[in-house]
Amino acid sequence: MNNNKKIRIAIDAMGGDYSPANEVEGAVLALKNLGNKIVIVLVGDKAKIDAELSGYEFNKDSIEVLHTDQIVTMHDDPTAVLKTKRNSSMAVSLSLHAKNEADAVISAGNTGAFLAASTVILGRIKGASRPTLGTYLPTSTDKKVFILDVGANIDPKPQFLYEFAVMASIYCEQTSDINNPSIGLMNVGEESSKGTEVVQETHKLLKNSELNFFGNVEGRDIFSGKVDIVVFDGFLGNILLKFAESLAPFVKGMMGKLAGSKFSVEEVKLAGSVMKEVFSGLDPQAAGGLPFLGLNGISLVAHGGSTPMAFSNLIHKAIDLIETDINTKIETALNKG
Amino acid sequence: MNNNKKIRIAIDAMGGDYSPANEVEGAVLALKNLGNKIVIVLVGDKAKIDAELSGYEFNKDSIEVLHTDQIVTMHDDPTAVLKTKRNSSMAVSLSLHAKNEADAVISAGNTGAFLAASTVILGRIKGASRPTLGTYLPTSTDKKVFILDVGANIDPKPQFLYEFAVMASIYCEQTSDINNPSIGLMNVGEESSKGTEVVQETHKLLKNSELNFFGNVEGRDIFSGKVDIVVFDGFLGNILLKFAESLAPFVKGMMGKLAGSKFSVEEVKLAGSVMKEVFSGLDPQAAGGLPFLGLNGISLVAHGGSTPMAFSNLIHKAIDLIETDINTKIETALNKG
């Protein structure tokens, strides 16, 4: 291997809705800005990947193809990849990273399976009880808000939620210009006595920590930009995020009802253009994909329908996380005191 | 009492943000359409209520004022009204209903206190383990969706959630033109194996019931109009509803950022007018207020900032619920089989 001083990104080329076409095009796109800095390893059906690659011009030294003949599908149980699909493009991509033959992994495949496989194959950071998944959302202020857990942990213990806050704090410091980000705990009221037992217990842990804990926040405080980070369980997070993603189609549908009645078709059309811009930050494609936090490695999950540009953005994000050495910082934060 | 054949509505005149002005004006407004059909009992500080009433013309037989000198505040513990504030406008209004001297109660006061007091003073319907609170939201289709629990039960058992679905089903049949409404269980995926233990257990209860159970739905399915009713716990419900209510200010804030850059100030202003219409159904004022379901009585909680029109609408809603005898129907549904 003569590329071993370059950053190497393994991409599960078979996981997305438009595989391997979008993964391949995304890799070629990313290379345009990254020159000889990185090597991308496309893992999957070699014949199909090569066929896609044949349509592009790129530096042959910057892309490698590793053949695998198994694919993890959306219908596979999260544990299947570990039990019966160890030769899948997803598992092999992760194994490359575990063996230090890649510095990060990207997959647009089955999120549950990718999380389970990432956890087992890469292992957890010392002090991280569970890996978690968060995402930035826009707010009506100039700041973004980072929310987590958005679906990785359906029923987390207070300690897990506390650790998510620690990891989110580091992640935000590394990926935004905010120092010591403020953390809100999602609840049904401001008082510490509010909410479920798990939330009350989490409140205590956060309050007694060195984190910049703002206190409880409510549903309206995500978009208000009141805090930099909002912490909640993955059951709520999954539902809130999907609800947020449904806002644009909801508004579109409501506008359709108004066109030609209260407002002219032209007026509604113009409002639609404005709204498209307003909601652009809530498009899951905009984020490109999200990194799991808490793993001994850089593992990023892409949206199933990711475009080539989304894959390219995610490759850049992976490089940023590798270069900031985020996992060492997370491990230090989780294990101090 | 010479009004005892008329419908009598007790209003806690001291609970709202603009008490007793808006309660009084709302009562006078409602009487305009209802003629001699009802009597409204305004409960609270008689001097203040009479002062407000002096500004209006109305049939003196249709409004009674009952003096009380205690007020439940937003800072009171939910149990305070029962322990130390039995002579509050809230508690006395409920007692009137319990003694059959009123057929319904309306309060814009502290929701937690009103729920606790309603439960103790009115009692629960046989078979209703807990009272619940739901609300209609608009969808992008022609149908509304009824969601519950929106905050009454933070950590309900599966049996409670099942009962909420039964009560919502009756409520929707009585208050919309939908027969045998379809019920979705909010979850993180369609499969019955998804979600927390509570949700999985609730799925079984709903599946084995006579209800029109659609199955699990996801966050995006509230606004899509996929089902008529969506059931979830009150922790999630409180957060989702407050999040939904924050959409209009979020969109307004985002539009403010675009004005004068991507779009002209005039264009954004027009889009704002369209959006005001789009989001009108998400304004908590639009609903006027919500009835608790599962109580031996008609107890409606109004938004703290309710306008006179909101109180008037709520008086009409109370009359509808009395006339459809909704509680007998709920009791029958909860206790059959």
CATH number for the domain running over A132-245? 3.40.718.10
ipTM, 2 decimals?
0.93
Arithmetic mean of pLDDT, B199-218: 98
Q: How confident is the model at residue B286 (pLDDT cuts 50, 70, 90)?
A: low
Query: B196 and chain A: CB distance < 8 Å anywhere?
Result: yes
pLDDT digits (tens, 9 = 90+) for A130-157: 999 999 999 999 999 999 999 999 999 9
Contact list in A for residue B303 (CB cut-off 8 A) is none
pLDDT at B287: 65
CATH class of B133-245: alpha beta
Distances (CA, A) of A215 to A192, A239, B204, B328: 8, 22, 37, 44
- B270 contacts in A (CB within 8 Å)? 267, 270-271
Gap from B236 CA to chain A (nearest CA, Å): 6
Token pair 């009454």 is at which residue?
A: B152
Q: In chain B, which residue's Cα lies nearest the Cα of A259?
A: B274
Q: How far does Cα B101 stand from its chain's mean position?
A: 22
Cβ B242–A219 below 8 Å, yes or no?
A: yes
The backbone torsions φ and ψ at residue A88, rounded to the nearest 5 degrees and listed phi first, read: -75, 160
Q: Which residues of B touch A76 (CB under 8 A)?
A: none
Interfacial A residues in 216-235 facing B (CB < 8 Å): 218-224, 232, 234-235
Query: Is B239 in Cβ contact with A188 (below 8 Å)?
Result: yes
Query: Distance, in angstroms, between B188 CA and closest chain A CA?
Result: 6
Give the burial string for A32-51 (b: 16+ CB within 10 Å, else e): eebeeebbbbbbbbbebbee
Q: Assess if CATH 3.40.718.10 describes domain B7-128+294-325.
A: yes
What is the overall mean pLDDT for chain B? 93
Neighbours of B292 (CB within 10 A): 25
Identify whether the C-beta of residue B162 lies closer than 8 Å to the C-beta of residue B209.
Answer: yes
* Closest among A161, A53, A132, A151 to A295, alpha carbons compared: A132
CB B32 within 8 A of CB B110: no
Chain A residues within 8 A of B238 when measuring between CB atoms: 188, 218-219
Residue B280 pLDDT level (bands cut at 50, 70, 90)? confident
Contact A70, A87 (CB under 8 A): yes
Q: Sort out which chain A residues have CB atoms less than 8 A from B252's CB and list them.
A: 140
Fold of A7-128+294-334: Isopropylmalate Dehydrogenase (3.40.718)
Position B31, amino acid: L
- Residue tagged 């590329």 (tokens): A3
CB-defined contacts A:B, below 8 A: 166
Within 8 A of B219 by CB-CB distance, chain A residues are 238-246
Give the range with max mean pLDDT: B74-78, B127-131, B187-191. B127-131
pLDDT at A337: 64
Structural domain spans, chain B: 7-128+294-325, 133-245
Q: How does pLDDT run across A37-77, given as a tens digit for each residue?
A: 899 999 999 999 999 999 999 999 999 999 999 999 888 88
Kindly list the strands in the beta sheet with B63-67, ordered across the sheet, starting from the edge strand earlier in the chain. Answer: B63-67, B38-44, B7-12, B104-107, B299-302, B289-293, B132-138, B144-148, B229-231, B183-186, B213-217
Q: Is the pLDDT of residue A2 over 70?
A: no
Q: Where residue A282 falls among pLDDT bands split at 50, 70, 90?
A: confident
Helices B21-34 and B46-53 meet at what angle, rounded to 10? Answer: 50
Distance from CA of A289 to the nearest CA of B (A): 19
B79-135 pLDDT, tens digit per residue, is 888 888 999 999 999 999 999 999 999 999 999 999 999 999 999 999 999 999 999
Whether A253 contacts chain B with CB within 8 A: yes
- Say yes or no: A239 contacts chain B, CB-CB below 8 A: yes
* Closest partner CB to B270 (pick from A238, A246, A270): A270
Mutate to test the interface with B, among A197, A232, A274 (most CBs of B within 10 A): A274
- Using a CB–CB cutoff of 8 Å, tell me whether B180 touches chain A: no
Any idea which of A174-188, A253-267, B105-119 has the lowest mean pLDDT? Answer: A253-267
Q: In which band, very low, low, confident or very high, does the pLDDT at A280 lie, cut at 50, 70 and 90?
A: confident
Same fold, A7-128+294-334 and A132-245: yes
User: If you measure CA to CA, which chain B residue comes closest to A152?
Assistant: B188
Strand A132-138 and strand A104-107: the pairing is unpaired
* pLDDT at B266 (0 to 100): 92
Contacts of A138 in chain B (CB under 8 A): 254
Q: Which residue of A has its CA nearest to B198?
A: A155
d(Cα A139, Cα A182) in Å, to the nearest integer? 15
Instruction: With CB atoms and an 8 Å threshold, state whether B219 touches A240.
Output: yes
Token pair of B327, please?
């509680």
How far is the C-alpha of B71 from the C-alpha of B86, rounded, in Å?
10
Q: What is the pLDDT of residue B96?
A: 98
The predicted structure's pLDDT at residue A275: 92
Question: What 3 state SS string does chain B have?
Answer: CCCCCCEEEEEECCCCCCCCHHHHHHHHHHHHHHCCCEEEEEEECHHHHHHHHCCCCCCHHHEEEEECCECCCCCCCCCHHHHCCCCEHHHHHHHHHHCCCCCEEEECCCHHHHHHHHHHHHCECCCCCCCEEEEEEECCCCCEEEEECCCCCCCCCHHHHHHHHHHHHHHHHHHCCCCCCCEEEECCCCCCCCCCHHHHHHHHHHHCCCCCEEEEECCCHHHHCCCCEEECCHHHHHHHHHHHHCHHHHHHHHHHHHECCCECHHHHHHHHHHHHHHCHHHCHHHHCEEEEECECCCEEEECCCCCHHHHHHHHHHHHHHHHCCHHHHHHHHHCCC
Predicted pLDDT of residue B2: 44
The proportion of chain B whose per-residue pLDDT surpasses 70, expressed as a percent, equals 97
Q: Does A263 touch chain B (CB under 8 A)?
A: yes
Residues A239, B244: contact at Cβ < 8 Å? no
Give mean pLDDT, residues A293-313. 94
Q: Which residues from A are below 8 Å from B264, CB to CB?
A: none
C-alpha–C-alpha distance, residues B47 and B69, integer Å: 10
* Whole-number Å distance between alpha carbons of A93 and B94: 65
Helix (H) or strand (E) holding A212: strand A212-217
Pairing of strands A132-138, A144-148: antiparallel
| Distance of alpha carbon A40 from alpha carbon A64, whole angstroms | 6
- DSSP codes joined into one string, A56-103: S---GGGEEEEE--B---TTS-TTHHHHT-TTBHHHHHHHHHHTTS-S
Residue bearing the bigger pLDDT, B230 or B79: B230
The pLDDT of residue A285: 66
What single-letter amino acid sits at B68?
Answer: T
Determine the average pLDDT of the residues in B260-276. Answer: 91
**Cα separation, B101 vs A105, whole angstroms:** 70
Kindly indicate the confidence band of residue A17, based on its pLDDT and cuts at 50, 70 and 90.
very high
Confidence (pLDDT) at B73: 87
- Which amino acid type is present at position B320? D
Mean pLDDT (whole number) for A257-275? 91
Burial class of residue B55 in the structure, from the number of CB atoms within 10 Å of its CB (0-12 exposed, 13-18 middle, 19+ buried) = exposed
- Contacting residues of A for B255, CB less than 8 Å apart: 274, 278
> Which pLDDT score is estimated for B123?
97
Structure confidence at residue B3 as a pLDDT band (50, 70, 90): very low
**How much is the pLDDT for A272?**
93
Where is average pLDDT lowest: A223-227, B31-35, B112-116, B198-202? B31-35
Give dist(CA B80, CA B71) in Å, integer.
11
pLDDT per residue as tens digits for the range A184-215:
999 999 999 899 999 999 999 999 999 999 99
In this model, does residue B34 exceed pLDDT 90? no
Best of B77, B277, B283 to disrupt the A interface (most A CBs within 10 Å) is B277
Which 8-state DSSP code applies to residue A186? E
With cut-offs at 50, 70 and 90, classify the pLDDT of residue B337: low
Q: Does B151 touch chain A (CB under 8 A)?
A: yes
pLDDT score of B119: 97
